[in-house]
Structure 1
Amino acid sequence: MYKPHPSDELRQHFAERPYQGADPMAAKLLFVGLDANYDEAIAKSPAFTSVLEYHQDGVAFWRRYGVHHPFLLPYYRGDGRRYHQTFAKIGFQPDHAHLVSFVELLHLPTVGRSQLVPADLDSCHVKWLDNVIRAGEAQHIFVSAGVLRLMQSTDQFHWLRGGHTPVDSLPVLYDDGRRKIYRHLHFSNYGKFQAQLERERMHIGALLSLSSS
């Protein structure tokens, strides 16, 4: 179950570009989430213009403002900031903007807390995402445990059913010699997960260096 975001503009951006950041077919590092969640009243926020600008061209936005997401701008107030603050600690810089893309299993933006099940997913979007992962340029693909469970419950990702192999701090779920899929902690975690988050950030940062070379 999920609640679509009421903003026509926000939904239109996702219909035209079902991703955030760089074009996922060209990006080298791909982060797969469940759904893109926004405050229900964000359209009335002073940050909304920046949000729309970001969705229009995430790479240009990052290079213009020095942050990878509008939730990190000083005048943004709302949920989602912790996720992007943790993500930023990996060490991404504006010069890396063309390498990084965010995609979601759900095809439209939401509000509130979603409890997604396979029936919520749009078949065309899921096929598009499967093609992005398997035919795109991404060398390193990251999924959290919740994302992995939902992917594995669909027929589209039948190929992602093997056991995982621990490698340093990031379990490798899939490796075809050209791309690897890793399981990681959700970036909103904190507290007792802090040490593991730090190890994973360092590992992803090292992969970023390899992808940039």
Structure 2
Amino acid sequence: MGNSIVFTLRGPWRVPIQFDASLLVLAVLFAMLYIDRGIGTAAIAFAMIVLAILMHELGHAAACVAQNVPVRRVVLFGGGGFCEHDARVTPYQTEFIAIAGPLVNLALWAVASLILPLTITPSEPVLINGTWLTPPQGQSEITRQLTLFARLNLFLTLFNLVPVLPLDGGRLLHSWLHRFFRGITATKIAGGVGVVLAVAWVPLMFAAFFTFGVVLLYFPNIMLHWRMLRSGQG
């Protein structure tokens, strides 16, 4: 992926943040999804998903920094992002690093949800045939965008906790299993869970689209999880 990096900036803790050319594919996808709402709405929606992913990966980076784990870079690409850090980490460090990203998205969802009611202007009651009626509240553009941002972050929280590799949930499951089983046994169990979820992924894609309005560009590596199940090796 290094040859497709089009832009690099220096982020917090002097961590390089790199933007991959495949983000253009994601931009085109958002433009197609929001074509009926205008290019401005599509651009804002794209900016929000990039911001949510960036904050997620910076959450991982912050957990690394807090544990003195060197961070090489953060990369954003069309399918999401990743935080590349030193591979020499303990299972406990791995758990903290893995959970930090979803926790950041959960916090963003909570903040956006708390602010959301403040953007809604109450409708004024009107007198109709001697009865005061309150018309339905209309949604402003700010309300709609903030709602979308909240939903995106909630989706990223839940999506990244799905226990398949290389998602955070898969890393958490694999690390957590090592507390109770030998290395090979833990890997085989994690592989079995991954195989089952990979088979069920298509229904999950439809559920994500109809619940959150999000199109999944990720599909679990069923062969990786099958090797883990068969041989106990990742």
TM-score with structure 1 setting the length: 0.30
Q: Which of these two proteins has the greater Rg computed from alpha carbons?
A: 2
Query: Per chain length, whose mean CA-contact separation is higher, i.e. which structure has more relative contact order (CA < 8 Å, sep 6+)?
Result: 1
In proportion to residue count, which structure has more helix? 2
TM-score with structure 2 setting the length: 0.28
